[in-house]
Amino acid sequence: MAITVQRPNLSLAERSYLPAIFTGLSITLGHLWRMMRGKTHVTMQYPEQKWDSHLPEHYRGVPALVTDDYGRERCVSCQLCEFICPPQAITITPGELGENDPFAKVEKFPQEFKIDMIRCIYCGLCEEVCPEQAIYLMKEYAVTGTTRAEMVHDKKKLYEIGGLKTGLVDKWDANK
């Protein structure tokens, strides 16, 4: 059984769209008037002005690797971040420490660590799953490149972005 829907009868002004056009123009002119008087700033001058000071505490930006107090890699190449990554943006090639290293029996190190920033969705799962607190989502948001190869960050670039985290890093401490 078909249902017939009755359309409302529109006035001549409503059929010509004039009220909608004038409403839109009044909003635009109101913004222009406020901008001319200096009441509002419409645009941000990007390279000179950035959102860095206005970013919320929970902002998730570019993933990066960090080192410990002694400049050693925190990453022990457990590959949990690689396995948990939904778009499979992380690639780790584990390597073994030398025999004379005091941590040789218990740890590995990432021989190669790459994150494809084009595939990364900034979900934060890699940060949450890392047992050594070696990977963090930094506040950096301006990731640019002219080729796909430039957007694949290797271990050197990731440590350059991340830097050094001193002391015990308590990510899950509610008081911090």
Give me the pLDDT at residue 89, please.
96
Q: Is residue 68 part of a domain?
A: yes
Range list of H helices, 12-154: 12-15, 18-36, 80-84, 125-129
Q: Is residue 38 part of a domain?
A: no
Instruction: Provide the domain count of the chain.
Output: 1
Give me the pLDDT at residue 102, please.
75
Q: Is residue 106 part of a domain?
A: yes
- Judged on CB neighbours under 10 Å (0-12, 13-18, 19+), 77 is buried
Give me the pLDDT at residue 168, please.
61
CB burial of 3-26 (b: ≥16 within 10 Å; e: otherwise) equals eeeeeeeeeeeeeeeeeeeeeeee
Residue 138, domain extent: 52-162
Please give the Cα distance from 115 to 162 (Å, whole number).
Answer: 13
Q: Is residue 151 part of a domain?
A: yes
Q: Is residue 136 part of a domain?
A: yes
Q: If you ran DSSP here, which 8-state letter would residue 101 be given? A: S
Are the C-beta atoms of residues 90 and 126 closer than 8 Å to each other? yes
pLDDT tens digit sequence for 128-166: 999 888 999 998 888 889 999 999 999 999 999 988 887
* Domain CATH for 154: 3.30.70.3270
Residue 176 banded pLDDT, cuts 50, 70, 90: very low
Q: How far is CA 120 from CA 17, 85, 87, 142, in A?
A: 45, 8, 7, 14
Q: Is residue 168 part of a domain?
A: no
**Which tokens hold the place of 104?**
């040789």
Give me the pLDDT at residue 64, please.
94
Give me the pLDDT at residue 47, please.
78
* Predicted model pTM: 0.69
Place of tokens 């080192």: 67
Q: Is residue 21 part of a domain?
A: no
Q: Is residue 24 part of a domain?
A: no
pLDDT tens digit sequence for 33-68: 998 898 887 677 887 888 777 788 888 999 999 988
